[in-house]
Amino acid sequence: MNKISKRIIKYMVLINLVVILVGFILTSSILPKIYINNEYSDLEIASEYVLEAAKNNTVIDLTDIYAVLVNDGSVKNMCRTISRGQGSSGNNSGSGMGHMGQMGMMNHSKNIDFTSVKNKDIFKDDDGNTYIGIKKSSDYGDIVVYKDYEEIRSLIKSVNLIIVAIFIFSLVLSIIIAFYLGEKFTKPIIALQKRADNISKGIYENTLEVTTNDEIEELNNSINKMSEELKIKDTMQREFISNVSHDLKTPLSVIRANSEVIKDGLVEGEEVVDYATNIIEEVDILSSLVGEILVLSKLRENKSTINLADTNLVDFINESYYKLKNIVSINNNLVIKNELDDRNYYVKIDNNYLYRVLTNFITNAIKHSKSTRDEITFGIKSIENGVEIYVRDYGIGIDEESLKNIWDRYYKGDKSGGMGLGLAISKEIIMSHGFLYGVRSKLGEGSEFYFIVPNKLIKKI
């Protein structure tokens, strides 16, 4: 049996116990009171008839009820008691009369001290039998009407027995139900656990079909979604390793070939310089590649120190614009748009890192611009929750599926030409400043990459 089933059974048994205990206490305390009050009412009615009989100096017939008239120490039987059955006869051993369907004057009045009976009372005869009775004063003496009390006792006993039987039955039933429920609920959970184990081993297939229409189905959907995303990330990582190997291999081969040519003395004079320059260029490519990977891993592990300094935002944007203009190719137009009227926005930023973000946005915009409209807008504007800095191009745009992944490491589209690290690095830099980031894009119409400096990080001096 699994743990959940065991737990359900435990709680079911506990609930049952509490319910039965409460039921037991209530029935054993309330039931006798109700019954005794009923008996007093019955005796009260019977006493009216007995009084009538006393008046007429006769005796009456009463079922299971005895009545006596006590006057100056003498006790006179006032009724012929008809017994309903065996149940009520057991206590009349002292009477000398059995009353299985019999009828007769009762004698056990001899064994009872009627003078000490109270108006409403439960009392005993000399043989220890218990009775319930009422006493009423009349012109003819005290009338005592009473009956066996044992009946009530045996009734309560039966009720308690029934409760115990119900308890045992419901306990067994609840254990069976709990077992069934436990198995029913844990089956999909165990299947999900196996699926999660498989995912951790890199097995993303074998999706489960769960149609329980509850949280378990939602959990299954989340696991399926997680599995899909992990699969994409896994593929990206594999592609990255093969890309890195390829990207490292190409410059390394060039470096090796050029070095061999120089070493073997196959080139002389100016040509040696050309070959050496070529080697230096390839080394630069290699070192920037390794540098990017290092920066990203440091940023992700929070090991890279970001040097924040109070900076005038508009000045930073203007300076960046002039530097960026140099990297924009002759074909592209870089337009600056400053919609921020107030120049006194000061923000704590790391100039170098944030400039790196802008460079990445701009180089991507250039890469993905269309020859028909190669304009790029670089702007700053005030929005409701802060100040937004954006780079807008009118290029190929990004489809919805890719939009989910572009900020991930190693993700790159067809026109990339890079390592797929630029936006991942930008994202880390933006987040480490406490800024927000995003992209608005429409396929075929262009993209707008932006980051937002929230109001709480802006000091207006």
Min dist CB 328 to ligand ADP, Å, is: 13
Instruction: Verify binding: residue 188, ligand ADP, rule CB under 6 A.
Output: no
Instruction: Verify binding: residue 133, ligand ADP, rule CB under 6 A.
Output: no
DSSP count for the chain of H helices, then E strands: 8, 16
CB count, 10 Å around CB of 6? 13
Pick 416 or 432: Cβ nearer ligand ADP: 416
Q: Is 230 exposed, middle or buried (0-12, 13-18, 19+ CB in 10 A)?
A: middle
Instruction: Verify binding: residue 430, ligand ADP, rule CB under 6 A.
Output: no
**Interface with ligand ADP: number of residues (CB under 6 A):** 21
Question: Rounded CA gap, 241 and 244, in Å?
Answer: 5
Question: Rounded CA gap, 130 and 124, in Å?
Answer: 4
Pick 287 or 455: Cβ nearer ligand ADP: 287
Looking at 255, 398, 429, 453, which residue binds ligand ADP (CB under 6 A)? 398
Pick 379 or 420: Cβ nearer ligand ADP: 420
Instruction: Verify binding: residue 428, ligand ADP, rule CB under 6 A.
Output: no
Instruction: Verify binding: residue 255, ligand ADP, rule CB under 6 A.
Output: no
> What phi and psi values does residue 347 have, to the nearest 5 degrees?
-135, 145
Q: Where are the beta strands (DSSP E) in 261-332?
A: 309-312
Cβ partners under 8 Å of residue 91, min gap 6: 129, 130, 131, 148, 150
Show the tokens assigned to 188: 């999909």
Instruction: Verify binding: residue 427, ligand ADP, rule CB under 6 A.
Output: no
CA 239 to chain centre: 37
Q: Is 284 exposed, middle or buried (0-12, 13-18, 19+ CB in 10 A)?
A: exposed
Looking at 39, 134, 422, 429, which residue binds ligand ADP (CB under 6 A)? 422
373 DSSP 8-state letter: B
Instruction: Verify binding: residue 453, ligand ADP, rule CB under 6 A.
Output: no
Pairing state between β 66-71 and 141-148: antiparallel
Part in contact with ligand ADP (CB under 6 A); list of ranges 40-48, 177-185, 265-273, 409-417 = 409-417
Tell me the C-alpha to C-alpha distance, in Å, between residue 333 and each of 317, 368, 390: 17, 14, 15
Instruction: Verify binding: residue 411, ligand ADP, rule CB under 6 A.
Output: yes
Whose tokens are 């080697």? That residue is 279
The angle that helices 150-200 and 3-56 make with each other, rounded to 10 degrees, is 170
Instruction: Verify binding: residue 419, ligand ADP, rule CB under 6 A.
Output: yes
Min dist CB 444 to ligand ADP, Å, is: 11
Instruction: Verify binding: residue 393, ligand ADP, rule CB under 6 A.
Output: yes
Footprint of ligand ADP on residues 229-248 (CB under 6 A)?
A: none
Instruction: Verify binding: residue 149, ligand ADP, rule CB under 6 A.
Output: no
Instruction: Verify binding: residue 151, ligand ADP, rule CB under 6 A.
Output: no
Pick 157 or 238: Cβ nearer ligand ADP: 238
Closest CA to 134 of 150, 152, 149, 147: 147
Part in contact with ligand ADP (CB under 6 A); list of ranges 36-44, 52-60, 98-106, 394-402 = 394-402
Instruction: Verify binding: residue 416, ligand ADP, rule CB under 6 A.
Output: yes
Looking at 65, 112, 365, 387, which residue binds ligand ADP (CB under 6 A)? 365
Footprint of ligand ADP on residues 7-26 (CB under 6 A)?
A: none
Give residues in contact with ligand ADP (CB under 6 A).
360, 364-365, 368, 393, 395-396, 398, 406, 411-413, 416, 418-424, 447
